[in-house]
């Protein structure tokens, strides 16, 4: 019986000891938590600050991305503009070359203009100059020009000048031939002068026939 009493006392003492130790541990845990709370608060503040900085970085990156997008769009537009400028320059160069070609095709020298508008068909030199000028006039009037350029005002005006020079020369030629025919009527046939005059008329008409038929 005594042994049982001692055992009961030991168990109670052991239980009391465990309870005391448990209370001590709980107190230490509470004190540890209370002691670490400022550190936790500081850590949370640092995390909040870090999050705010990350948000700023993300906002800056978004802004940079938008700026880069605008730069890319601007570069693309500049590339397209440069391509258009190069195309326009090539087209202008082709047009300039074509216009220079047309100018050369439609150019009639002042010498030939004078030979047509003030022709002297009574002398060998005047007749030769008139024939040469008439052939040049025929060439420029028959020049092959691109249909798109024919509508240009300058070309139309130049062609009107050709028509005016042609009309003027036709009047001079008609008057000259008419005078020759009248002179032939007054001559006796088969004479040397008659034959010479006949050959002159035939030569003159054959050389100017094409210009009269333009």
- What value does the mean pLDDT take over residues 195-200? 60
CA atoms within 13 A on the CB side of 152: 15
Position of tokens 């107190």?
27
- What value does the mean pLDDT take over residues 75-100? 88
**pLDDT at residue 149 greater than cutoff 70:** yes
Residues 6 or more apart whose Cβ sits within 8 Å of residue 29: none
Residues 6 or more apart whose Cβ sits within 8 Å of residue 205: 177
Domain boundaries, the chain: 1-106, 112-213
Per-residue tokens: 202: 């035939």
| Predicted TM-score (pTM) of this structure | 0.55
| Burial of residue 99 (number of CB atoms within 10 Å: 0-12, 13-18, 19+) | middle
Q: How far apart are CA 138 and CA 135, in angstroms?
A: 5
In this predicted model, which residue has the larger pLDDT, 79 or 39? Answer: 79
**pLDDT at residue 35 greater than cutoff 70:** no
Per-residue tokens: 1: 């019986």
For 158-187, how does the pLDDT look when each residue is reduced to its tens digit (9 = 90+)?
999 999 999 998 888 888 878 877 776 666
**pLDDT at residue 4 greater than cutoff 90:** no
CA atoms within 13 A on the CB side of 139: 14
**Any idea which of 27-41, 63-77, 92-106, 112-126 has the lowest mean pLDDT?**
27-41
- What value does the mean pLDDT take over residues 27-41? 60
In this predicted model, which residue has the larger pLDDT, 208 or 129? Answer: 129
Neighbours of 212 (CB within 10 A): 14
């Amino acid at each position: 019986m005594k042994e049982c009493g001692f055992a009961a006392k030991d168990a109670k003492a052991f239980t009391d000891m465990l309870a005391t130790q448990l209370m001590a541990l709980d107190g230490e845990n509470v004190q540890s938590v209370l002691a670490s709370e400022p550190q936790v608060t500081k850590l949370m503040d640092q995390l909040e600050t870090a999050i705010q900085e990350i948000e700023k970085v993300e906002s800056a990156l978004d802004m940079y991305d938008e700026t880069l997008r605008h730069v890319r769009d601007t570069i693309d537009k500049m590339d397209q503009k440069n391509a258009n400028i190069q195309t326009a320059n090539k087209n202008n160069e082709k047009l300039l070359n074509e216009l220079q070609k047309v100018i050369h095709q439609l150019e009639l020298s002042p010498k030939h203009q004078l030979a047509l508008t003030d022709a002297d068909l009574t002398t060998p030199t005047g007749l030769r100059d008139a024939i040469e000028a008439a052939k040049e006039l025929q060439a420029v009037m028959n020049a092959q020009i691109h249909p798109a350029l024919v509508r240009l005002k300058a070309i139309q005006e130049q062609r009107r000048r050709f028509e005016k020079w042609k009309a003027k020369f036709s009047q001079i030629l008609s008057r000259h031939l008419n005078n020759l025919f009248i002179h032939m009527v007054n001559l006796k046939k088969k004479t040397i002068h008659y034959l010479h005059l006949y050959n002159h008329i035939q030569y003159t008409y054959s050389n100017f026939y094409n210009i009269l038929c333009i």
